[in-house]
Amino acid sequence: PNRVLLGCFLLHYAHRALIFPLLIREGKPTPFFTFVLALLFCVFNGYLQGRSLTTYATYPAGWLGDSRFITGFLGWLIGMAINIHSDHILRNLRKPGETGYKIPRGGMFEYVSGANFFGEILEWFGFALACCTTESLAFALCTLFILGSRARQHHK
């Protein structure tokens, strides 16, 4: 279970750090202070999750078949799929050279204005349920507060 869960965490960040940046066509520059805060959060959180799953978290035999793991893993998987699909919709909102505000349509954007944020929040709450650790729950709550406030700003 520890390897599967660590793999989920690493898969998300491999996508976010390696694939996602290569897909972005144009974007607004990120303020340096925001970049530094995000970097520090990711380093600290990566250490907590990695240390928890490699050293402290122990799971009973059959954990991969436990309903908490299965439900959490499915939440993580569905959340990641929503996040990736929503990012795709956002990347393709405007034609090259086009500017101005556009409302995203399709996918989860038909139900929630911040579908990309919703997907990531679902992803990390699913991960927390699959892990059942204090560290993963703390991460899910941080994600909710940080991305929830960004989603609210975007909605307005």
> Which positions ≥6 away from 39 have C-beta within 8 Å?
none
Structural domain span for residue 19 = 1-155
Closest Cα to residue 90, out of 16, 27, 8, 1? 27
Residue 96 has a pLDDT of: 77
Model confidence at 26: pLDDT above 80? no
pLDDT digits (tens, 9 = 90+) for 84-141: 999 999 988 888 777 778 899 999 999 999 999 999 999 999 999 999 999 999 999 9
Cα–Cα dist 67/71, whole Å: 6
Q: Per the structure block, which two tokens stand in for 52?
A: 């928890």
Cα–Cα dist 9/60, whole Å: 20
Residue 79 has a pLDDT of: 98
Residue 78 has a pLDDT of: 98
Half-sphere exposure of 45 (CA within 13 A, CB side): 18
Number of folded domains that form the chain: 1
Model confidence at 53: pLDDT above 90? yes
As a whole number of angstroms, the longest Cα–Cα distance in the chain is 56
Report the percentage of the chain scoring pLDDT > 70. Answer: 99
Q: With b meaning 16 or more CB within 10 Å and e meaning fewer, what string describes 98-128?
A: eeeeeebeebbbeebebbbbbbbbbbbbbbb
pTM of the model: 0.93
Residue 28 has a pLDDT of: 75
